[in-house]
C-alpha cells in the first residue's frame, strides 16, 4: 500500500479527466467523489475505476459539458434526462438542487435517467445530512443480481444510502448494495487473485461461483448467474428481502424517471451501463427541532458503539463509523491505495496527459 496526500490525489484525478475533455468543475467533482471512496476504505468504488471512466469517455458513452434536460419539475420535485453526462458530477449537482428545494419546501426528490456510474451513494446522502436534513440516495445498475429462486440476473446491485446527522460531526450513514456484495468487490478479488467466498454469487449453472474472472465475464455478457441478493441463496436467510429492496430501487430510480430497468440495463466491455438515480432530502425541522433530533441521534449512536463486543470481536460499530474513522486517518496520513492501483493511475495520467513518465504525470 502507498498513501497519497488527499488534495494531490484529487488534483491528479481531476487533471486526467480534464485531459480527456471533461470541464474543470465536472472533473473536480468527479475526482472528489472517487477519492472520497478510497479515503473511506471503499476501494471497489475508488480511483481504480478511472480506467473504465476513461474508456467510456473516449468511446463517447460518457460525456462532459452536457446540460441535462428537465423532464418535469415542481417546487419539491425534479426529473432529469442526464443525456449521458458524467454521473459523478451530475449527481452532486442534482443533490445540491434537491437540498435547495428542501430548504424551501421541507423535503424534495429528484430522479434521473440516462446517466452514468455515480460512485458511492453515501457521498450524496451525507451532503444532505450536513445541512440538517435526512439524505437518501440510490441508483440502479446493470443487471447482476439473481432474484430468489431464479437462474438469471434481473436487477442490479442497486445500492441505497441513508444519512442523518448527530451532534459534533456524529452521523448515521448507511451505504449498502442490495446484493450480498457490489460488483466492485468481485473486481477487488479478481485483482488480488483470490477465490470468492461462498454465498456471494452463483455461476451460470446456478452453483456457487468461486472464480471472480469467469463470473465477471458471465455477468458482462448476461450468460446466466450473478450476485445473490442480501440474505443469500433461497429464503432461509431472507434473500427475498434483498431481492425486494433491489426492485424498490429500480422503481424509485427508473420508473419515476422513465429510464431503463431490470435486464435492459447492460454494461459494455469498456464501461458501465447508462443508469438511473434517485435523491431525496428531508429537513429535520419539519418533524422536530433539529438540535433535539441530533441530540437523540448522538445518544443512539453512542449506545450502539458502547455495546460490549461479542467474543472474538474488538468493538461494535454503527453504520458509517468505520468509514468516518478511515477518512479521518486518510486526511492525516494520506489516502491509501494498493500499489498496483497507484501504478495504474500514474501510467494512465502519463498516457492521457501526453507526458513522459520521468516528468511526472500531468
Name the DSSP class of 67: -
Nearest to 32 by CA among 138, 161, 136, 120: 120
pTM: 0.92
The reported pLDDT for the residue numbered 358 is 39
Q: How far apart are CA 52 and CA 187, in angstroms?
A: 12
DSSP 29-64: HHHHHHHHHHHTT-GGGSGGGHHHHHHHHHTTSSBS
- Which position has the grid cell 494531490? 8
- Residues 247-293 pLDDT 10s: 999 999 999 999 999 999 998 888 888 999 999 999 999 999 999 99
Over residues 6-33, the mean pLDDT reads 97
- Residues 95-124 pLDDT 10s: 999 999 999 999 999 999 999 999 999 999
- Which position has the grid cell 432474484? 147
Helices then strands, each counted (H, E), the chain: 11, 11
Nearest to 196 by CA among 206, 205, 186: 186
| Domain 1-58+336-362 identical in fold to domain 66-181+226-306 | no
Topology annotation, domain 1-58+336-362:
Hypothetical Oxidoreductase Yiak; Chain: A, domain 1 (1.10.1530)
**Domain assignments of the chain as residue spans, ordered by start:** 1-58+336-362, 66-181+226-306
Q: How far apart are CA 214 and CA 220, in angstroms?
A: 10
CATH of domain 66-181+226-306: 3.30.1370.60
Across the chain, mean pLDDT equals: 94
- In the numeric block, which cell numbers belong to residue 82? 442526464
Q: How far apart are CA 115 and CA 68, in angstroms?
A: 9
The reported pLDDT for the residue numbered 356 is 38
Q: How far apart are CA 100 and CA 128, in angstroms?
A: 10
Distances, alpha carbon 318 to alpha carbons 54, 163, 175, 325, in Å: 35, 12, 12, 12
Over residues 201-222, the mean pLDDT reads 88
The reported pLDDT for the residue numbered 247 is 97
Phi and psi dihedrals of 184, rounded to 5? -55, -30
The reported pLDDT for the residue numbered 184 is 80
Burial class of residue 312, CB neighbours in 10 A (0-12, 13-18, 19+): exposed
Amino acid at each position: 500500500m502507498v498513501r497519497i496526500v488527499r488534495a494531490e490525489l484529487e488534483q491528479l484525478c481531476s487533471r486526467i479527466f480534464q485531459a480527456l475533455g471533461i470541464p474543470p468543475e465536472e472533473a473536480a467533482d468527479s475526482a472528489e467523489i472517487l477519492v472520497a471512496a478510497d479515503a473511506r476504505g471503499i476501494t471497489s468504488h475508488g480511483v481504480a475505476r478511472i480506467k473504465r471512466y476513461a474508456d467510456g469517455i473516449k468511446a463517447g458513452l460518457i460525456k462532459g459539458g452536457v446540460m441535462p434536460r428537465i423532464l418535469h419539475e415542481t417546487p419539491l420535485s425534479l426529473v432529469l434526462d442526464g443525456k449521458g453526462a458524467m454521473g459523478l458530477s451530475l449527481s452532486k449537482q442534482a443533490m445540491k438542487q434537491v437540498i435547495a428545494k428542501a430548504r424551501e419546501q421541507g423535503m424534495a426528490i429528484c430522479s434521473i435517467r440516462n446517466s452514468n456510474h455515480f460512485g458511492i451513494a453515501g457521498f450524496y446522502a451525507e451532503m444532505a445530512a450536513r445541512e440538517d436534513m435526512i439524505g437518501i440516495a440510490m441508483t440502479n445498475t446493470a443487471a447482476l443480481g439473481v432474484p430468489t429462486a431464479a437462474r438469471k440476473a434481473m436487477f442490479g446491485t442497486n445500492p441505497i444510502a441513508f444519512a442523518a446527522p448527530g451532534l459534533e460531526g456524529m452521523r448515521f450513514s448507511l451505504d449498502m448494495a442490495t446484493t450480498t456484495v457490489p460488483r466492485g468487490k468481485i473486481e477487488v478479488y479478481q485483482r488480488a487473485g483470490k477465490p470468492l467466498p461462498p454465498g456471494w454469487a452463483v455461476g451460470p449453472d446456478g452453483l456457487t461461483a468461486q472464480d471472480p474472472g469467469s463470473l465477471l465475464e458471465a455477468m458482462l455478457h448476461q450468460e446466466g448467474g450473478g450476485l445473490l441478493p442480501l440474505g443469500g441463496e433461497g429464503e432461509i436467510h431472507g434473500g427475498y428481502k434483498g431481492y425486494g429492496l433491489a426492485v424498490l430501487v429500480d422503481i424509485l430510480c427508473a420508473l419515476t424517471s422513465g429510464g431503463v430497468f431490470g435486464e435492459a440495463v447492460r454494461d459494455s466491455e469498456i464501461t458501465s451501463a447508462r443508469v438511473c438515480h434517485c435523491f431525496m432530502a428531508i429537513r429535520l425541522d419539519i418533524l422536530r427541532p433539529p438540535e433535539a433530533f441530533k441530540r437523540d441521534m448522538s445518544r443512539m449512536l453512542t449506545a450502539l458503539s458502547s455495546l460490549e463486543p461479542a467474543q472474538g470481536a474488538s468493538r461494535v460499530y454503527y453504520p458509517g463509523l468505520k468509514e468516518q474513522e478511515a477518512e479521518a486517518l486518510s486526511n492525516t496520513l494520506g489516502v491509501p491505495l494498493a500499489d498496483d492501483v497507484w501504478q495504474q493511475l500514474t501510467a494512465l495520467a502519463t498516457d492521457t496527459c501526453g507526458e513522459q513518465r520521468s516528468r511526472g504525470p500531468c
